[in-house]
Amino acid sequence: MRTALNLKGVPYEYVAVEDMRTDAYRRINPQGLLPAIEIEGRIYGQSTALVEWLEETYPTPSILPADPQDRLSARSFSQYIACEIHPIHNHRVRDYLTGEEGWSEEKSMHWYEHWIVKGLATLEEMLARRPAPAVFCFGDTPSVADIYLVPVLCNARWFGFPIDGFPRLLEVDAACRRLDAFQAAMPENQPDYSTKS
């Protein structure tokens, strides 16, 4: 969400949430998840819904490709990350596996690595099937696909998962990281960033 706001030049106030699993946070956001955004006193969650709202409310510059098929590709790519990759590493899933199911941290991380690497392989193949190479996922300007790709690669790097086998993803990631909008959104550039895992 930070990247999308930055790309569109929409000002926002960043509010750190120390632990989204607390009752205090759930009183603010009943989903108990991040991101959440407050608009005119109401709280909204789910990144896909928020990004769609942002595109509808601030259409310029667009974060969707102009070509309808590229737009569909970008949405499909971002949805694959949001719906297939991201939920598997969510804290509440890993907490359940290590808590209720008694998995060791090592087993939990091995499970997570399997799914994230498998997911990245799928994304790499999706880029390989583009009709023509592009600077970003689906064009020469960043789209919703790039907005979702960079954080999932950040996460893979954070945990030390192997990502060298995904040259197309890494090329796009490098192009994104050269842009101020992506740099300003990086976790390490937030006021509450900690090197603790």
**CATH number where 149 lies:** 1.20.1050.10
Q: Is residue 181 part of a domain?
A: yes
Residues 80, 146: one domain?
yes
b/e burial code for range 32-70 (CB count within 10 A of at least 16 → b): bbebbbeeeeeeeeebeebbeebbeebeeeebbbeeeeb
159-182 confidence digits (pLDDT tens): 999 999 999 999 999 999 999 999
Specify if 110 maps to a domain: yes
Task: Say if pTM beats, i.e. exceeds, 0.75.
Answer: yes
Establish if 8 belongs to a structural domain.
yes
53 and 77 both lie in a single domain: no
d(CA 148, CA 51): 10
Per the structure, the complete domain to which residue 53 belongs is given by 2-61
- How many domains does the chain contain in total? 2
Domain membership of residue 191 (yes or no) is no
pLDDT (0 to 100) of residue 73: 97
Asked whether residue 154 is assigned to any structural domain, the reply reads: yes
Give the model's confidence band at 197: pLDDT under 50 very low, under 70 low, under 90 confident, else very high. very low
pLDDT tens for 7-50 read: 999 999 988 888 888 888 888 888 888 888 999 999 998 999 99
Q: Is residue 32 part of a domain?
A: yes
What local confidence, expressed as pLDDT, does residue 18 receive? 82
Strand 36-39, strand 42-45: pairing: antiparallel
Confidence band for 71, pLDDT divided at 50, 70 and 90 = very high
Same domain, 167 and 72: yes
